[in-house]
Amino acid sequence: MTALLQILFDALSLGSLYALAAIGIALIFGVMRLVNFAHGDYISFCVFALLWPSIEATAFVFAGQLPPYLLIPVILTVGACLSMLSEILVFRRFRNANPATMMIASFALGFVIKYTLLMLFSSRPKSIDLWPSLSLPVEIFDARIPLLQVITIVITIVILIALVAFLKRTRFGLEMRAAAENFTMARMLGVRANAVILLAFAISGMLAASIGLILVTQTGTVDIQMGSSVMLVAFIATVIGGLGSLPGAVVAGFLIGGVSVLMQVILPFDIRPFRDAFVYGAVIAVLIWRPNGLFMPRSAKQRV
Amino acid sequence: MKKLLTGFAGATVIMAALGVGIAKADDIVVGFATASSGFMQAYDKPAQDAAMIRIDEINKAGGLLGKQIKTVAADTKTDRAEGAKAGLEVIDKGASLVVVSCDYDFGAPAALAAEAAGKVSFFLCAESIKAGIQGVGPHSFSASVLAAVQGATMAEWSYNKKKARTFYRLLDTWTEYNKGICDGFDWMLPKLKDAKLLGQDTFKNEDTSIAAQITRIKSLPQQPDAIMLCSMMPGVVSAVKQIRAAGIKSMILNGSGVSGGYWLNATPDLSDFYVPDQGSVYGDDPNSAVNDFNKKYKAATGGEPSSQYVYPGYVMIDVWAKAVERAKSTDADAVVKELEKMKDEKTLFGPRTFTSTLHHQNRGRYLITEVKNGKPGVVDEWTISEAIPVEYLMKK
Amino acid sequence: MTHRPSIFLRSLSTPLILILVLVAFLALATFMNSGPFNQVVIDGLVKVTLVVGLYVFIGNSGVLSFGHIGFTCLGAYATAWLTIPPLMKKMALPGLPEFILEAKLPYGLGIGFGALFAGAFALVVGKILMRLSGIAASIATFAMLAVINTVYSNWERVTGATSSVVGIPIVRVVWPYCLAAVVSIVIAHLYAISRSGLALRAARDEAIAASASGVDIGRERLIAFVISAVITGMGGALSAHSVGVVTPDTFYLNLTFICLSMLVVGGMNSLSGAVMGVVVLSVIIQVLRQFEKGVSLGGTVVSIPNGLQEIAIGIVMVVILIARPTGLTRNQEIVWQGWPFKRVSAATEP
Q: What is the mean pLDDT of residues B357-381?
A: 93
Which A residues, 9 through 28, put their C-beta within 8 Å of a C-beta on chain B? 9-10, 13-14, 17
Contacts of C325 in chain A (CB under 8 A): 94, 96-98, 101
Please state, for a pLDDT cut of 90, what percent of chain A lies above it. 19
Mutate to test the interface with A, among C124, C129, C139, C262 (most CBs of A within 10 A): C139
pLDDT of residue A6: 79
What SS3 state is found at C127?
A: helix
Task: Nearest by CB to A100, from C136, C140, C264: name it.
Answer: C264
pLDDT of residue A299: 53
Provide the b/e sequence for A120-155 (b: ≥16 CB within 10 Å): ebbbbbbbbbbeeebbebeeeeebbbbbbbbbbbeb
Contacts of A221 in chain B (CB under 8 A): 234-235, 237-238, 263, 266
User: Residue A222 and residue A229: Cα distance in Å, rounded?
Assistant: 14
Can you spell out the DSSP letters for B381-394?
A: EEE-SSPPPHHHHH
For A20-35, write each residue's pLDDT tens digit.
Answer: 999 899 888 888 888 8
Among B328, B332, B323, B321, CA closest to B116:
B332
Output A136 or C333, whichever has higher pLDDT: C333
**CATH value at residue A119:** 1.10.3470
pLDDT of residue A95: 80
Question: Is the predicted pLDDT of residue A304 greater than 50, yes or no?
Answer: no
Q: What is the mean pLDDT of residues C316-336?
A: 87
pLDDT of residue C47: 96
Q: Does C35 touch chain B (CB under 8 A)?
A: yes
What secondary structure letter does DSSP report for B64?
A: B
User: Residue B159 and residue B180: Cα distance in Å, rounded?
Assistant: 20
Contacts of B44 in chain C (CB under 8 A): none
Region of poorest pLDDT, from A28-32, A81-85, B70-74, B315-319: A28-32
User: Residue B292 and residue A26: Cα distance in Å, rounded?
Assistant: 57
For C231-261, write each residue's pLDDT tens digit.
Answer: 999 999 999 999 888 999 889 988 998 999 9
Question: Is the predicted pLDDT of residue B19 greater than 60, yes or no?
Answer: no
What SS3 state is found at C228?
A: helix
CB atoms under 10 Å from CB of B114, counted, come to 30
Region of poorest pLDDT, from B47-51, B352-356, C94-98, C119-123: C94-98
Rg of chain B taking only CA atoms, in angstroms:
22
Q: What is the mean pLDDT of residues B124-131?
A: 88
Give residue limits of the domains in chain B.
Answer: 8-145+293-340, 147-277+365-395
Work out the pLDDT band at B317, boundaries 50, 70, 90.
very high
CB atoms under 10 Å from CB of B221, counted, come to 5
Cα A250 vs. chain centroid, distance in angstroms?
10
For B258-314, write each residue's pLDDT tens digit.
Answer: 998 888 888 888 999 999 999 999 989 999 999 999 999 999 988 889 889 999 999
Among B194, B210, B190, B192, CA closest to B202:
B210
Shortest Cα distance, chain C CAs vs residue B16, angstroms:
7
**Amino acid in position C250:** T
Which B residues, 323 through 382, put their C-beta within 8 Å of a C-beta on chain A? none
Handedness of CA B243, B244, B248, B249 (dihedral sign): positive
Question: Is the predicted pLDDT of residue A13 greater than 90, yes or no?
Answer: no
**Residues in Cβ contact with C67 at an 8 Å cutoff, skipping those fewer than 6 apart:** C140, C141, C142, C143, C144, C145
For B181-231, write each residue's pLDDT tens digit.
Answer: 999 999 999 999 999 999 999 998 888 778 888 888 988 999 999 999 999
Question: Is the predicted pLDDT of residue C4 greater than 80, yes or no?
Answer: no
Q: What residues make up the domain containing A205?
A: 2-300
Q: Does domain B8-145+293-340 have CATH number 3.40.50.920?
A: no
User: Residue B254 and residue B230: Cα distance in Å, rounded?
Assistant: 6
pLDDT of residue C68: 95
For A237-264, write each residue's pLDDT tens digit.
Answer: 888 888 768 888 899 999 999 988 888 8
Q: What is the mean pLDDT of residues B105-118?
A: 91
Shortest Cα distance, chain B CAs vs residue A176, angstroms:
31
**Is C329–B1 a contact, with Cβ atoms under 8 angstroms apart?**
yes
Output B180 or A6, whichever has higher pLDDT: B180
* A121-to-B59, B258, B259, B296 alpha-carbon distances in Å: 33, 19, 20, 24
User: Residue C310 and residue C316: Cα distance in Å, rounded?
Assistant: 10
pLDDT of residue C225: 96
User: Residue B345 and residue B232: Cα distance in Å, rounded?
Assistant: 29
Q: How many Cβ pairs closer than 8 A exist between chain B and C?
A: 130
Give the range with max mean pLDDT: A179-183, B195-199, C95-99: B195-199
For A56-71, write each residue's pLDDT tens digit.
Answer: 666 677 776 777 788 8
pLDDT of residue B197: 95
Q: Does B237 touch chain A (CB under 8 A)?
A: yes
Bridge partners of residue C295, in order along the sequence: C302
Task: Nearest by CB to A101, from C150, C313, C321: name it.
Answer: C321
Do you know the residue count of chain C?
A: 350
Shortest Cα distance, chain C CAs vs residue A147, angstroms:
32
B265 phi and psi angles, rounded to 5 deg: -70, -10
The tally of domains found in chain A comes to: 1
Rg of chain A taking only CA atoms, in angstroms:
19
HSE, side-chain direction, 13 A CA sphere, residue A132: 13
**Is A124–B233 a contact, with Cβ atoms under 8 angstroms apart?**
yes
First and final C-alpha spacing in chain A: 48
**Is B246–A146 a contact, with Cβ atoms under 8 angstroms apart?**
yes
According to CATH, the topology of domain B147-277+365-395 is: Rossmann fold (3.40.50)
pLDDT of residue A217: 85
Cα C267 vs. chain centroid, distance in angstroms?
14
Q: Does A158 touch chain C (CB under 8 A)?
A: no
For A82-129, write each residue's pLDDT tens digit.
Answer: 999 999 999 988 887 888 888 889 989 998 999 898 888 877 778 887
**Residues in Cβ contact with A187 at an 8 Å cutoff, skipping those fewer than 6 apart:** A179, A193
User: Residue A141 and residue A143: Cα distance in Å, rounded?
Assistant: 5
pLDDT of residue C301: 76
pLDDT of residue B332: 93
**Is B88–C36 a contact, with Cβ atoms under 8 angstroms apart?**
yes
pLDDT of residue B18: 43
Among C260, A156, A293, A123, CA closest to B42:
A123
What's the burial of C31, exposed, middle or buried (CB within 10 Å: 0-12/13-18/19+)? exposed
Instruction: Check if the beta carbon of residue C282 is closer than 8 Å to that of residue C24.
Output: no
Chain C: touching chains (3 or more CB pairs < 8 Å): A, B
Mean pLDDT of chain C, nearest integer: 88
**Is B1–C340 a contact, with Cβ atoms under 8 angstroms apart?**
yes
pLDDT of residue B238: 86
Bridge partners of residue B377, in order along the sequence: B370
Can you spell out the DSSP letters for B65-113?
A: TTB-EEEEEEE-TT-HHHHHHHHHHHHHTT-SEEEE-SSHHHHHHHHHH
Bridge partners of residue B170, in order along the sequence: B201, B229
Shortest Cα distance, chain B CAs vs residue A228, angstroms:
9
pLDDT of residue B23: 44
Q: What is the mean pLDDT of residues B168-189?
A: 92
Q: Does A239 touch chain C (CB under 8 A)?
A: yes
Question: Is the predicted pLDDT of residue C339 greater than 60, yes or no?
Answer: no
User: Residue A11 and residue A80: Cα distance in Å, rounded?
Assistant: 28
**Is B238–A10 a contact, with Cβ atoms under 8 angstroms apart?**
no
A51 phi and psi angles, rounded to 5 deg: -110, 165
What SS3 state is found at B8?
A: helix
Q: What is the mean pLDDT of residues A279-288?
A: 87
**Is A265–B212 a contact, with Cβ atoms under 8 angstroms apart?**
yes
